[in-house]
Each structure stands twice: as C-alpha cells, then as structure tokens.
Structure 1
Amino acid sequence: MARDVTSDQVGRVMAHLSGRVYLRPPGGGREWTASAEDLRPISASESLRARVAEANRRAVRGNR
C-alpha cells in the first residue's frame, strides 16, 4: 500500500511498469496510475484505517 501524493489517495500497488505504478483502492475499484516518484509508503495504522473504511463502505452497501 502506498499514498499517491499528487491525488492524496491510498492504494494497493498492483503492478509496476516503465516507471509507472498501477494502484487500486484498498477495497477494489477503479485503478489509477502514478509516477513512482509520487508515491510514499504508508504506516501500518494508515493501512489499517484505509482497510477498515472500505470494509465499512461494503457493509453499508450490502445492507441496502
């Protein structure tokens, strides 16, 4: 998991090709690309926060 500093989004690294990194939101969704230079590692607590937020969104959607 990494933070794209240009968009301030956290994503799971899916692939790395020719200096571009492909990321996807923690719970799935639309993939985006970022330059490797624009990514920063995230702490364990940031990673957990992102995964819990996505689990909560899935739970709410499942109850509708």
Structure 2
Amino acid sequence: MSAPEYMIDSRDGRIGEVMGHVGGYVQLRPPGGGREWDCPPEALTPAPPGEVLRARVRELNRQARLP
C-alpha cells in the first residue's frame, strides 16, 4: 500500500488527501477526515510534509475541543 498523497488547493489554501478522480476533478479530503471537495487539477500543488503535519495537528486540536 502506498503512502497517502497530499495536495494544496491553491484556490483557498486548504490541504487535502487525494481520494480519487471524478469527472476531470480531483477529490480531496482534509487530513483528519471530513467532507471531501472537488478541485480542478490545475489548481493543485504538492503539499510539503511540514504543512501536512501542521494541518493534522490543527485538526486533532479542533477535535479535542469538541464537546
């Protein structure tokens, strides 16, 4: 099994794990899980490992604050 691929949606700066390709779009999901979104491939750039780690930590912190 290969490691997940993470990309940055340059339209809004969100980082997402590549989940698949549908209808000419790339489907992304936030690093900690959540709702997927579609992004045109030309708006994607590879996410550096440090950015992915920061996004995952933010999500874990957000989950810890939920009631």
| Fold shared per TM-score above 0.5 | yes
Runs of 4+ in structure 1 deviating by more than 6 angstroms, as ranges, are none
Give the TM-score normalised by the residue count of structure 1.
Answer: 0.85
| In 2, Cα distance between equivalents of 1:33 and 1:43 | 20
Q: Which structure 2 residues correspond to residues 17-56 of structure 1 after superposition, within 5 A? A: 17-56=22-61
| In 2, Cα distance between equivalents of 1:29 and 1:7 | 17
Give the TM-score normalised by the residue count of structure 2.
Answer: 0.82
Quote the residue 2:7 is aligned against.
2
Count of residues in Structure 1 that have an aligned counterpart in Structure 2: 62
Give the deviation of 1:55 after TM superposition: 0.8
Identify unmatched segments of 5+ residues in structure 1: none
Identify unmatched segments of 5+ residues in structure 2: 1-5
Give RMSD over aligned pairs.
1.1
Greater helix content? 1
